[in-house]
Homo-oligomer: A and B are copies of this chain.
């Protein structure tokens, strides 16, 4: 109850921005005493909020800490389903692992697992993903779409479009999508998306979308090898971003496109994806488990499969591969 009330208070303050909120207003809305309000303000200050308190005017937030706790996210979030249930942990091995478990336990669609640090973060194909404390968004979202198995790769593309849009909205940075699941800024990897499934062969139980996003990571945080291929929003924009703002924006973008997707199908998502895609129409090298190919990326199919036309004009369907764009 205490937590809920504090969250409600925080939400009021955040929504009012620079405007003071009077003690009376808070006390009416929260149905609590002035003393109780003061106690919550003290707690919020301990959490790193700088809150101005002026007699006869009330309270306002001067600055917030960059935290990704449940109430930091909830206070910013305007969504109907996604993020309505948030599980925050300071440090975890992997948010995907926790989300997988919660999904088995029938937690509802929209459940979000978010951590300040991952000690064993995983990327696509089991590759490790560095997730240093306090500098990135490491989160996993449970969706339960009623779609056939064959269509689930579409949700990776939907998530990539949503994250790209949210990055632009919050930071003004133009990101590009590299098939199937990376997001690049100025040619360097900024976001990785990992989509995992729990399914029967003809029914999807859950799609778990993991997002790793380098927000305030600095060049020094990356080791030498990673520096050449990875970047962060801070490195590219010069500014710090409040992670909770970006998480809220990502969830809102996903919610809009996901609703569109469930109601009207993949059409719009595909158009948006192709618009943001880094490689479509360009010459690429493709390395699958069994072969290497070179040619022009022609587009994606309605099932999210990449079409590659080789130099003999033969079109290959690429289900899973690493792609390389010569000259980047």
B201 x A152 contact (CB < 8 A): yes
A224 partner residues in chain B, CB cutoff 8 A:
none
Residues from 264 to 305 in A contacting B, C-beta threshold 8 Å:
289, 303-305
Q: Check if A213 is an interface residue, CB within 8 A of chain B.
A: no
Pairwise interchain contact B197-A320, C-beta atoms closer than 8 A? no
Q: What separation, in Å, do the CA atoms of A203 and B148 have in the docked complex?
A: 17
Considering only CB atoms and an 8 Å cut-off, how many residues of chain A contact the other chain?
Answer: 30
A124 & B319 in contact (Cβ 8 Å cutoff): no
**A124 interface neighbour in B100, B198, B200, Cβ under 8 Å:** B200
Q: Which residues of B contact A198 (CB under 8 A)?
A: 196-198
Known A152-B149, A319-B148; judge A197-B203 contact (CB<8 A): no
Query: A residues 198-213 with Cβ under 8 Å of B?
Result: 198-203
A148 touches B200 (CB 8 A): no
Tell me, rounded to whole Å, the shortest Cβ–Cβ distance linking A258 to chain B: 15
The 26 sampled A-B contact pairs (Cβ below 8 Å) are A124-B200, A124-B202, A125-B200, A146-B289, A148-B319, A149-B153, A150-B303, A150-B319, A153-B202, A155-B201, A156-B201, A156-B202, A180-B202, A181-B201, A194-B200, A196-B199, A196-B200, A196-B201, A197-B197, A197-B198, A197-B200, A197-B201, A199-B199, A201-B304, A202-B319, A202-B320
